[in-house]
Structure 1
Amino acid sequence: MAAQTVEFAPETADSITAIDLGAGEGRDAVFFAEQGWDVCAADVSPNGLRKTQRLADRRGVTVQPIRADANDVSISGPVDVIYSAGAIQYIVPENRPQQFAHLKRNTAENGIHAMFAFVDHPDVPTPPDWTENEFFYAPGELLEYYDGWTVLETDRLIFDDDSGDEPHQHAAELVFARNSN
């Protein structure tokens, strides 16, 4: 897939702009739109983006869907919020430094990143639904990409899942950081 540029103009000068990177079926993107934010739902799946649009239509909000891969999405910033819950594991490890640098460069002053990454953990086996296009983060790696930013919160967790009808666990880390440059 060719790199896609996320470009959207806020409806008003004081609108909060947000990108849900790896929006899936759009639940979070639509929630943000319900808060009055200008939201772009970026995902690689056309089916997921169609579901996002249907959900936004049902809820009476506007979300801009864009087909884009987390590996090479290009943002024409600055945006206020970049959010990703369960999609940045698709960024190939060798692309991560440049992609995180790009995301950070295109985040407004005092903008926020809210990121969730699956982490390689010695006590948690690889989940049965893991694919060859997904890549674990090393423990602490996600936080390293936010050197120079104000880290608002971090968390490490292990949680149960039964996706694919096979109970298993995931290890993950969360980082909430503010562009304080």
Structure 2
Amino acid sequence: MLNDNEIGQRIALLRKERGYTQEQISFILNVTPQAVSKWEKGNALPDTSLLPLLAKTLGVSIDRLLTGGSIMEKTSPYDGEYKKQEYYWGLQHSLLAEQIVEIMQDVANKRLLDIGSGEGRDAIYFAKCGFQVDALEISTPGIEKIRQYSQLSGYEVNILHTDMIGYELKASYDVIYSHGSLQFLPLDQRQNHFEKYKRHTRVGGLNAHLIFVEKPFVKVAPDWEKGELFYLSGDLARYYHDWEILRCEEQIIDCNSAGIPHQHAVYSIIARKIEA
């Protein structure tokens, strides 16, 4: 049985994370602000006819809106690490993020989506450098770390607390970016996800990703999760064969996550969308 209070709390949480007021939601759905207030207080439920548009507006599926799923529960393998006081990935931004800033330095009003933002190290860096940032992250403790870092730094980012798998992008971006998160995409969904990222990138904009690739001479990292799936060398270039490839590099890097020294084989790409 559906719990009105839980659904109301979920609607309120998602609304705030998307940056909407109750009045804005009421305008989109053509209901009164009082109706939205009743939903969030658990005094009433939205009419079933409103659920598709409400879920779309809040950036989730209808099932997730009603049942919570991965939003309200522990959903990330990094939750335990993100709950600790220290920052698991550190606060130093990545080289890939620095390269994006350099390429986009003359673009005004630039908007960026950071997929799998983790604890926000790159998202906050992009905000410092003048980007309007949407930080997408599934982990609740990760979200709290992003908020904490945002407040400490004085730079604001828009947090999207959701799963990148199945998330329907609404906006168009100048940059769609990910750093070590897309290995969680199921193999049979990768093509569709990259096509979606490309569709939601403005002409002249960039897609930039760093992924983990399988190499027989590189041992699997000690903190590698069951749900993480390697890519093969050249996969990213294939997804972006119809874009201008600005940078494309594969390398072996040293890592100390989980406190155990190890190596990763990584592949990074920066591609630009050119008007046909």
Per the normalisation by structure 2, the TM-score is 0.60
- Equivalent residue letter for 1:48: G
- Say whether 1:38 aligns with 2:132: yes
- CA drift at 1:155: 0.5
Q: Distance in 1 between matches of 2:120 and 2:180?
A: 13
Q: Distance in 1 between matches of 2:257 and 2:153?
A: 27
Q: Distance in 2 between matches of 1:54 and 1:144?
A: 38
User: What does residue 142 of structure 1 align with?
Assistant: 236
Q: Distance in 1 between matches of 2:135 and 2:128?
A: 14
- Say whether 1:168 aligns with 2:168: no
Q: Distance in 1 between matches of 2:59 and 2:198?
A: 15
Residue by residue over 1:23-60, the C-alpha shift from the partner in whole angstroms, topping out at 9 and shown as x without a partner, is: 00001101111112110100111111111111111111
Per the normalisation by structure 1, the TM-score is 0.90
| SS class of match (1:66) | strand
User: What does residue 272 of structure 2 align with?
Assistant: 178
Which aligned runs of 4 or more in structure 1 are off by greater than 4 angstroms? Answer: none
Structure 2: state its 5+ residue gaps. Answer: 1-54, 61-107
Q: Distance in 2 between matches of 1:113 and 1:92?
A: 20
Q: Distance in 2 between matches of 1:25 and 1:165?
A: 17
- Say whether 1:96 aligns with 2:190: yes
- Say whether 1:127 aligns with 2:221: yes
Q: Which has the larger radius of gyration?
A: 2
- Say whether 1:67 aligns with 2:174: no
- CA drift at 1:77: 2.5
* Between structures 1 and 2, the one with greater strand share: 1
- CA drift at 1:68: 2.1
Aligned-CA RMSD value:
1.7
* Between structures 1 and 2, the one with greater helix share: 2
Size of the alignment, in residue pairs? Answer: 173
- Equivalent residue letter for 1:88: L
- Say whether 1:5 aligns with 2:59: yes
